[in-house]
């Protein structure tokens, strides 16, 4: 079994925020692979389903913590413990301001790099889980980061955002198979993005 968690904040007011791209990604995976309806469990919204792999379908639980971004570890830790899963069975989709908009990178283990949601999950589960990092760019000044991540994507960003979300869902069999390197490569093949300076994100509509 694989646990796929997306990071974001609950409520309609946050739905289109850059900080909620993790929610958007797991929602698209659930839609693409026809997962079941949402259920409230583990202080989260969950959906169950399966993703095809070369060795057959793999059972997957998608989880969107409703504890707010910085406390995501409470929900993730509860689900991991309930299903008796190892951290290696956990993939967390989250926004990454140190990647240019539309870029995508997989990472296993390591530090939180200032991401409080990842820090919260690490405190509950240890650092050895898989991270799917979705580039949103950086506002260029550390003092602007809070407002930037809690602001909505611009209309001008919608094309690359749609392409990226579709790619992470279409390539999901590689993720389910545990081949993160091939998954990263396939996502970037399906949704190529310019290797831009992450501190020069798109602005305006």
User: Does the active-site annotation cover 14?
Assistant: no
Structural tokens at position 154: 């611009």
Structural domain of 72:
2-190
Q: Give the CATH number, domain containing residue 84.
A: 3.40.50.1470
Structural domain includes residue 46: yes
Structural domain includes residue 75: yes
Structural domain includes residue 201: no
Structural domain includes residue 124: yes
Structural tokens at position 2: 């694989």
Could you give the maximum distance between any two Cα atoms of the chain, in Å?
48
Q: What is the pLDDT of residue 48?
A: 97
Structural domain includes residue 197: no
Per-residue pLDDT tens listing for the chain (205 residues): 999 999 999 999 999 999 999 999 999 999 999 999 999 999 999 999 999 998 899 999 999 999 999 999 999 999 999 999 999 999 999 999 999 999 999 998 777 777 889 899 999 989 999 999 999 989 888 899 999 999 999 999 999 999 999 999 999 999 999 999 999 999 999 999 877 666 665 555 4
Catalytic pick among 19, 138, 146, 154: 19
User: 196 pairs with which residues across the strands?
Assistant: none
Q: What is the pLDDT of residue 167?
A: 97
Structural domain includes residue 200: no
Distance CA 95, CA 183 (A): 17
Kindly provide the b/e burial profile for residues 106-131, where b requires at least 16 CB atoms within 10 angstroms of the residue's own CB: bbeeeeeeebebbbbbbebbebebbb
Distance CA 22, CA 170 (A): 16
Total structural domains within the chain: 1
pTM for the full predicted model: 0.92
Structural domain includes residue 199: no
Structural domain includes residue 18: yes
């Amino acid at each position: 079994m694989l646990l796929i968690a997306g990071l974001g904040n609950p409520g309609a007011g946050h739905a289109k925020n850059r900080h909620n791209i993790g929610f958007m990604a797991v929602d698209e995976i659930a839609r693409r692979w026809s997962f079941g309806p949402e259920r409230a469990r583990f202080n989260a919204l969950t959906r169950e389903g399966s993703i095809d792999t070369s060795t057959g379908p793999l059972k997957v639980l998608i989880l969107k913590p409703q504890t707010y971004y910085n406390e995501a570890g409470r929900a993730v830790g509860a689900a991991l413990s309930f299903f008796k899963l190892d951290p290696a069975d956990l993939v967390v989709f989250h926004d990454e301001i140190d990647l240019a908009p539309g870029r995508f990178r997989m990472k296993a283990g390591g530090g939180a790099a200032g991401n409080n949601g990842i820090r919260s999950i690490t405190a509950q589960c240890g650092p050895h889980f898989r991270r799917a990092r979705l580039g949103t760019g950086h506002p260029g000044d550390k003092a602007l980061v809070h407002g930037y991540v809690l602001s909505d994507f611009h209309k001008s960003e919608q094309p690359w955002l749609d392409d990226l979300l579709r790619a992470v869902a279409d390539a999901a069999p590689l993720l389910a198979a545990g081949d993160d390197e091939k998954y990263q490569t396939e996502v970037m093949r399906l949704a190529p993005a310019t290797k831009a300076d992450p501190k020069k994100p798109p602005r305006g509509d």
